[in-house]
């Protein structure tokens, strides 16, 4: 009996090590945030451009309100006539055909799924969980493609995007008596807890990713749109005992990747990892957004020169590889737009110095078999 217990303990420990420490290091990946705005030949050309960057993994935003402008009769059924998956089927098939592994996140609440109708409104939990199940079922590797054959398997599904920031989830805090109290983390925890079993039932091999926290450190609930810090958000999920398979977060350091120390930053990954272990021991960490702006922006006042951005592409790769639990580091984004100037290309489609640095890092990056499309 003692020997069997020892073997079981060793096996469990080896399993945790295998999960936590991929020998290849973090995958250097890239997101193009404009893909959901394209369809047809324009989308195919954009996917070709993404392929030239050398990225082997990308993150794909499914905009819920665009897929479901009206309420489906059965939200968990991806075949419900209320759903329009046309551009996402094309996107996912196109990525897999180009040997790029897609990760899915979803957000933007439909008018019918909230109390206010705004796209950043906190969704009704049952509706948002049902949509997660519909995504998982459609892309579980068995769903019939309307064009013939079957649609690809997409394993990794993030539940929402930056639910700790009012831009994507409102309200963050609610008034109780004479003060404001945190609301978003509690509601989000309920969503993940409801979505997890539905996603697993629809696609047993799915990796349900929680957190997806934006780059916020401290938490001060003094108004409805106050942001909630990454640590506070994780602590509430721990209190709610939320089931997850992986944790994702967004890092936009103030300063170099190897030197910035504010929460959240690369240096604070160990602090986050300890919290994640209280949700799921050994769970991988996905950094699904990171990067640096090259001009002033209302979302990020901090910016650097194009030369500095290029140098910090290399340093970001080094920073990610310091932490074995980090499996992917996703640069955001491909092309500048008026709201976001962290691209590898300028808005006129000319390449910044960061382009060649990223291509070199992405090409050298190894994608483990567990991440193959």
Question: Structural domain tally of the chain?
Answer: 1
pTM, rounded to two decimals: 0.92
Q: Beta partners for 287?
A: 249, 329
pLDDT in tens, 42-97: 999 999 999 999 999 999 999 999 999 999 999 999 999 999 999 999 999 999 99
Six token digits for residue 56: 């082997």
Q: Is the dihedral of CA 4, 10, 13, 19 positive or negative?
A: negative
Q: pLDDT tens digit string along 165-185?
A: 999 999 999 998 888 999 999
pLDDT at 333 over 50: yes
* CATH number reported for the structural domain that contains residue 72 in this entry: 3.20.20.80
In a domain, 71, yes or no: yes
Query: Averaged over 273-284, what is the pLDDT?
Result: 98
pLDDT for 242: 98
Query: CA 113 to CA 220: how far, in whole Å?
Result: 28
Residue (of 104, 116, 110) closest to 75 by Cα position: 110
Q: Give the separation between CA 237 and CA 233, rounded to whole angstroms.
A: 6
Q: pLDDT tens, 131-144?
A: 999 999 999 999 99
Q: How confident is the model at residue 300 (pLDDT cuts 50, 70, 90)?
A: confident
Residue 373 covered by a domain = no
- The answer to whether residue 14 is domain-embedded is no
> Could you tell me the pLDDT band of residue 331, with boundaries at 50, 70 and 90?
very high
Q: What is the pLDDT of residue 24?
A: 65
The CA-atom distances, in angstroms, between 331 and each of 33, 104, 293 are: 11, 15, 11
| pLDDT in the model for residue 153 | 98
- Half-sphere exposure of residue 61: CA atoms within 13 angstroms, side-chain side: 23
DSSP assigned state of 35: G
And the tokens for 9? 């303990």
In a domain, 108, yes or no: yes
Q: Indicate whether 356 belongs to any domain.
A: yes
The residues, ordered by sequence, that sit 6+ positions from 359 with a Cβ below 8 Å of its Cβ are 52, 53, 54
Q: Residue 16 has what pLDDT?
A: 36
Q: How far is Cα 88 from Cα 67, in angstroms, rounded to an integer? A: 9
For residue 13, being part of any structural domain is answered with no
Question: Is 348 within a domain?
Answer: yes
User: Do 344 and 309 form a contact (C-beta atoms < 8 A)?
Assistant: no
| Residue 190 included in any domain | yes
Whole-angstrom distance, CA of residue 103 vs CA of residue 313: 21
**139-165 pLDDT, tens digit each:** 999 999 999 999 999 999 999 999 999
At 100-127, the pLDDT tens digits run 999 999 999 999 999 999 999 999 999 9
Structural tokens at position 168: 């994507």
pLDDT at position 291: 98
CA distance 260 to 281: 27
Domain encompassing residue 347? 28-367
């Amino acid at each position: 009996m003692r020997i069997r217990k020892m073997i079981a303990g060793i096996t469990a420990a080896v399993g945790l090590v295998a999960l936590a420490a991929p020998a290849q290091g973090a995958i250097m990946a890239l997101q193009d945030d404009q893909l959901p705005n394209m369809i047809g030949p324009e989308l195919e050309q954009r996917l070709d451009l993404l392929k030239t960057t050398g990225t082997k993994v990308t993150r794909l935003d499914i905009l819920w309100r665009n897929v479901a402008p009206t309420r489906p009769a059965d939200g968990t059924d991806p075949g419900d006539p209320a759903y329009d998956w046309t551009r996402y089927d094309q996107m996912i098939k196109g990525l897999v055909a180009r040997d790029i592994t897609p990760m899915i996140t979803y957000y933007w609440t439909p008018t019918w799924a909230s109390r206010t109708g705004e796209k950043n409104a906190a969704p009704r939990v049952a509706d948002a969980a049902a949509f997660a199940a519909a995504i998982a079922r459609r892309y579980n590797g068995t769903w019939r493609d309307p064009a013939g054959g079957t649609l690809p398997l997409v394993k990794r599904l993030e539940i929402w995007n930056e639910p700790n920031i009012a831009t994507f989830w409102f309200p963050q805090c609610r008034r109780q008596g004479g003060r404001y109290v945190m609301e978003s983390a509690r509601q989000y925890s309920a969503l993940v807890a409801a979505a997890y079993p539905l996603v697993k039932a629809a696609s047993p091999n799915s990796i349900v990713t929680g957190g997806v926290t934006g780059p916020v450190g401290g938490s001060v609930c003094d108004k409805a749109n106050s942001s909630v810090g990454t640590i506070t958000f994780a602590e509430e999920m721990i209190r709610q005992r939320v089931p997850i398979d992986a944790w994702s977060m967004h890092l936009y350091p103030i300063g170099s990747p190897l030197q910035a120390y504010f929460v959240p930053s690369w240096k604070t990954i160990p602090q986050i990892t300890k919290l994640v272990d209280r949700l799921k021991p050994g769970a991988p960490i996905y950094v699904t957004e990171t990067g640096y702006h090259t001009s002033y922006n209302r979302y990020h006042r901090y910016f650097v020169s194009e030369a500095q951005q290029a140098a910090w592409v290399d340093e970001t790769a080094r920073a990610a590889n310091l932490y074995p639990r980090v499996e992917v580091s996703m640069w955001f984004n491909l092309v500048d737009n008026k709201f976001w100037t962290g691209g590898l290309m300028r808005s006129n489609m000319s390449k910044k110095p960061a382009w060649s640095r990223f291509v070199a890092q992405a090409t050298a990056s190894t994608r483990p078999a567990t991440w193959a499309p």
